[in-house]
């Protein structure tokens, strides 16, 4: 390795993490997760470092997810070994959630899947003009993991289920309207914000100091598209007890938004859709650690299944976007099928 995939830097009172695989949209590898977590543990104990700032290298992405091509390849012959990637990633997500020092993510670019997992669980997320957030896992036969069961299930008006099932994109204004982002700063002002943050002389109340600076630097991202369809989303995605009840209501609804949603869901893995619904339903009642334990159970079972391999093949390997799911429709996925993904493992997620 001539170039490090994740960089660590101490600037003033800040520990700065730079995800540094711009050619892969800064997607997380196992090694990046391992180094990232170890450094967070070190900085949490440090008397010099008072806060953490995370960003992505390059102009395009904060972080596009996990290195699922690698996981797919390894899991074909050794799913137990490949699950080690998720084990490390989920421990990192859980650590960020319970982190004892302020954690700021500059998310001015693509934030998908694993990128959400290393930003939304922190204290502050600063969106910019290039922010594009999504949880697109149902398109690759996965489910909205990295803590989706925790943060998506706690969003209002059925928005979390909307993002989880459809993989819908959120821009800066949408991210602000939904709570995915806490602040908006124009792309042009992001480098200056970074200098201002790392130039802060942090005292006894670093969280308040950082918040005050972010509040002062934050602007108006404009109108959120999601607010236009919010009443429809609430009607369609909120308050259904089962996936089948949700799906039936969507089919019975005569509006354009519902028809759009049905068309999108029709292309996703049927197993992933039902898994995601159940994950959010259960995750709502779980704290972060228990949620991550649940998600690790699900993902370990996913690696014994079919759709993840086919989904990553269709979207990221062959790029034909013609996944052949099995079962091929939601009617072919029973409650008993789904329940099996939540069963205990021989080797559970280790926390902390
Ligand atoms: C769904 C996903 C992912 C995705 C696309 C989806 C995902 C992921 C990547 C990705 C993108 C670019 C890369 C890379 C991975 O794409 O999780 O290594 O260079 O990591 O539709 O869940």
What is the structure's pLDDT at 52? 99
What is the DSSP-derived secondary structure letter of residue 315?
I
Query: Which sequence positions are flagged as catalytic?
Result: 66, 114, 137, 145
Q: How far is CA 11 from the centre of its chain?
A: 27
Query: According to the model, what pLDDT value does residue 3 have?
Result: 85
At a CB cut-off of 8 Å and minimum separation 6, what does 135 contact?
112, 113, 116, 144, 148, 152, 163, 164, 167
pLDDT score for 1: 55
Q: State which ligand 1 atom lies nearest to the alpha carbon of 139.
A: 21
101 in helix, strand or coil? coil
Please write the tens of the pLDDT for every residue from 210-240.
999 999 999 999 999 999 999 999 999 999 9
- What domains are defined for the chain? 3-340 (3.90.226.10)
Model pLDDT, residue 241: 96
Q: 13: Cβ–Cβ under 8 A, 6 or more apart, which residues?
A: 48, 49, 50, 51, 198, 200, 201, 202, 206
What distance in angstroms lies between residue 69's CA and the mean position of ligand 1's atoms? 8
Q: What is the pLDDT of residue 239?
A: 95
> What are the residue ranges in the chain where pLDDT is below 50?
none
Q: What is the overall mean pLDDT for the chain?
A: 98
134 lines ligand 1 (CB under 6 A): no
pLDDT at 2: 60
Q: Is the CB of 71 within 6 Å of ligand 1?
A: no
- The verdict on pTM exceeding 0.95 is yes
The Å distance, Cα 26 to ligand 1 centre, comes to 10
5 pocket-lining for ligand 1 (C-beta < 6 Å): no
Check pocket membership of 110 for ligand 1, CB cut-off 6 A: no
Within 10 angstroms of residue 323's Cβ, the number of other Cβ atoms is: 21
Residues 6+ apart with CB under 8 A from 263: none
């Amino acid at each position: 390795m001539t170039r490090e995939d994740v960089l660590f830097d101490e600037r003033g009172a800040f520990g700065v993490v730079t995800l540094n695989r711009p050619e892969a949209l800064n997607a997380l590898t196992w090694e990046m997760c391992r180094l990232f977590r170890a450094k967070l543990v070190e900085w949490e104990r440090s008397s010099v470092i008072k806060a953490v700032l995370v960003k992505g290298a390059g102009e395009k992405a904060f972080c596009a997810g996990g290195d699922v091509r690698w996981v797919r390849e390894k899991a074909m012959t050794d799913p137990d070994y490949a699950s080690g990637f998720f084990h490390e990633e989920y421990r990192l997500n859980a650590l960020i959630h319970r982190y004892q020092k302020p954690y700021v993510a500059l998310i001015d670019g693509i934030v998908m899947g694993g990128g959400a997992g290393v930003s939304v669980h922190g204290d502050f997320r600063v969106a910019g003009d290039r922010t594009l957030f999504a949880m697109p896992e149902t398109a690759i036969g996965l489910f909205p993991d990295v803590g989706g069961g925790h943060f998506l299930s706690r969003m209002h008006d059925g928005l979390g289920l909307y993002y989880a099932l459809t993989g819908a994109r959120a821009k800066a204004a949408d991210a602000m309207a939904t709570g995915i982002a806490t602040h908006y700063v124009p792309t042009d002002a992001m480098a200056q914000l970074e200098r201002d943050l790392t130039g802060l002389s942090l005292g006894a109340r670093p969280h308040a100091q950082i918040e005050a600076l972010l509040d002062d630097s934050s602007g108006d991202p404009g109108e959120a598209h999601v607010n236009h369809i919010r009443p429809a989303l609430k009607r369609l995605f909120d308050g259904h007890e089962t996936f089948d009840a949700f799906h039936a209501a969507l089919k019975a609804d005569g509006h354009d938004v519902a028809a759009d949603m049905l068309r999108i869901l029709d292309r996703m893995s049927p197993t992933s859709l039902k898994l995601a619904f159940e994950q959010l339903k259960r995750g709502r009642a779980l704290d972060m650690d228990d949620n991550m334990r649940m998600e690790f159970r699900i993902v370990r079972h996913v690696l014994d299944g079919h759709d993840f391999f086919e989904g990553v093949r269709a979207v990221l390997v062959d790029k034909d976007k013609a996944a052949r799911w099995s079962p091929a429709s939601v009617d072919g996925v029973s409650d008993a099928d789904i329940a099996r993904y939540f069963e205990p493992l021989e080797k559970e997620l280790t926390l902390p």
